[in-house]
Amino acid sequence: MALDSWGKYPQIQNKVFSFDQNKTLPDLLDEQDEWIPFGNGRSYGDSALSANIINTKPRNYFLAFDSHNGLLHVQAGVLLSEILDIFVPKGWFLKISPGTKLITVGGAIASDVHGKNHHVAGCFSECLDTFRLMLPNGEIVTCSKQENTDLFHATCGGMGLTGIILDAKITLKKINSKNIDQTTIKTTNLKETFEAFEKYKDKPYSVAWIDCLAKGKRMGRSLLTVGDFSNDGDLAYQSKKKMNVPFNFPSVALNTWSIKTFNWLYYGKTQKGVSTQKVDFDAFFYPLDAIDNWNRIYGKGGFTQYQFILPKSVSYEGLDEIMTTISHSGKGSFLAVLKLYGPANENYLSFPIEGYSLALDFKIEKGLFELLNRLDQIVLKYQGRIYLAKDVRVSKETFEQGYPNIGKFRALRRKYKMDQTFNSLQSRRVGI
């Protein structure tokens, strides 16, 4: 069995191992020189790829739940979707969730993931009470913001490079409905889009889909959706049957024209100005999860996501320059997502800083990496950074400039000999 990441690029040979009990893991770690933990393979690039993989997904027991304070103790392989299946009907939801629920708790910690509420609620580490980590020497340590703080700050966002996260305690939040009262704001250019984000920034959840092929005065036109949980008491929830993309699409299926048509339809079908809807949380948070294997639409050559963030003061200028560069390149992105983020946290490699982030999906094809290299230069010029969870190609130089705490991370890796046990293709490339 060889495991892929979500982008299906690169495809490498790897050996996959799993473990039955925590106490047998140290012996397994001794068997090979180099490892990387693997969750559910929803990272886009090479964060979870290496010659030897420890598959943590089978470790998926729910260990305890305290219904007084919402504290849930789970093994690291539990999927966020499993948590929702069990706890939404009881009136609980994840405090922080990314745009897919098909990730493991271990993966959520390792990427310190964020969701539509980052501007008010921060990253996944904010809902994390403690976790237990197995270090390269087989020792199990408990980490929190109070205990083993260096390991906590390195592991949250540490891309599996500090050890194996075994289990974690996270706090759920109370909800009174499975539904979201959603407002959609249709904007006609980038300036309006930014104004709309500011105007609605008190709403706990917000994200914009942006038409990255629109040029000239329409550049930056978007659909901003904001919302919050309803209060209608409807908790009757059962996860739905999904559609499936049964095979890799031929590589011609996605081109500038099909993307233009899609964008036109998607943007065009939405009512002008401001409209409101009631949708269930799956439709609001996880629209892409409704289609199994949607990554196959990019064909077997795979795809990547380019996600960067720029400090707020220069976001407008920077995005304008980047969007112009993309639209001149003629390379379209099917999915382009813009979001306003809140302040950064103390974790060494967490991605978010206060500002705007744009995420763009691109099919892997000739000329793409040259374009992305050019975009990197613009991102650096504006003191932005790239998100490792999506990345498959960023250079060491570009990466380092974006993350000032990289020195602390490297030093900690050396101190615990993590650099001699845990490495991914990505960590080798960016030298961490």
Q: How far is the CB of 373 from other proteins (least distance, A)?
A: 46
Cα–Cα dist 277/367, whole Å: 41
User: Which of ligand FAD, other proteins, none binds 21 (CB below 5-8 Å, type-dependent)?
Assistant: other proteins
Helix (H, G, I), strand (E, B) or coil at 289: helix
- Kindly tell me which of 3 and 380 has the beta carbon lying closer to ligand FAD: 3
Cα–Cα dist 5/195, whole Å: 36
Cα–Cα dist 144/131, whole Å: 7
Q: How far is the CB of 44 from ligand FAD (least distance, A)?
A: 6
Q: Which of 72, 113, 135, 378 binds ligand FAD (CB under 6 A)?
A: 113
What number of other Cβ atoms are within 10 A of residue 143's Cβ? 25
Q: How far is the CB of 420 from ligand FAD (least distance, A)?
A: 16
Q: How far is the CB of 64 from other proteins (least distance, A)?
A: 6
User: Which of other proteins, ligand FAD, none binds 279 (CB below 5-8 Å, type-dependent)?
Assistant: none
Asked if 37 is part of the footprint of ligand FAD (rule: CB under 6 A), the reply reads yes
User: Which of other proteins, ligand FAD, none binds 349 (CB below 5-8 Å, type-dependent)?
Assistant: none
- Kindly tell me which of 38 and 399 has the beta carbon lying closer to ligand FAD: 38
- Kindly tell me which of 28 and 371 has the beta carbon lying closer to other proteins: 28
| Chain contacts with other proteins (rule: CB under 8 A) | 21, 60-65, 75, 86
Cα–Cα dist 379/356, whole Å: 12
What b/e string do you get for 103-131 counting C-beta neighbours within 10 Å, with b at 16 or more? Answer: bbbbbbbbbbbbbbbbbebbbbbbbbebb
Q: How far is the CB of 59 from ligand FAD (least distance, A)?
A: 8
Q: Which of 245, 265, 288, 411 binds ligand FAD (CB under 6 A)?
A: 288
Helix (H, G, I), strand (E, B) or coil at 426: helix
User: Which of ligand FAD, other proteins, none binds 76 (CB below 5-8 Å, type-dependent)?
Assistant: ligand FAD
Q: Which of 9, 14, 29, 36 binds ligand FAD (CB under 6 A)?
A: 36
Question: Which distant-in-sequence residues (6+ apart) come within 8 Å of 116 by Cβ?
Answer: 99, 205, 206, 207, 285, 339
Q: How far is the CB of 36 from ligand FAD (least distance, A)?
A: 5
User: Which of ligand FAD, other proteins, none binds 75 (CB below 5-8 Å, type-dependent)?
Assistant: other proteins
57: nearest Cα among 75, 44, 43, 36? 75
Site for ligand FAD in 177-206 (CB under 6 A): none
Burial class for 61, CB neighbours closer than 10 Å (0-12, 13-18, 19+): exposed
Asked if 125 is part of the footprint of ligand FAD (rule: CB under 6 A), the reply reads no
CA contacts within 13 A on the Cβ side of 404: 7
CB 80 within 8 A of CB 144: no
Asked if 227 is part of the footprint of ligand FAD (rule: CB under 6 A), the reply reads no
Site for ligand FAD in 143-172 (CB under 6 A): 159-160, 164-165
Asked if 38 is part of the footprint of ligand FAD (rule: CB under 6 A), the reply reads yes
# residues near ligand FAD by CB under 6 A: 31
Cα–Cα dist 221/261, whole Å: 15
Could you tell me the strand order of the sheet in which 52-55 lies? 15-17, 52-55, 36-38
| DSSP letters spanning 323-379 | HHHHHHHT---S-EEEEEE----S-TT----SEEEEEEEEE--TTHHHHHHHHHHHH
CB 309 within 8 A of CB 387: yes
- Kindly tell me which of 18 and 258 has the beta carbon lying closer to other proteins: 18
Q: Which stretch binds ligand FAD (CB under 6 A): 112-120, 173-181, 247-255, 409-417?
A: 112-120
CB 177 within 8 A of CB 231: yes
Asked if 56 is part of the footprint of ligand FAD (rule: CB under 6 A), the reply reads yes
Binding site for ligand FAD (CB under 6 A): 6, 36-43, 47-48, 56, 76, 98-100, 103-104, 106-107, 110-111, 113-115, 159-160, 164-165, 288, 389
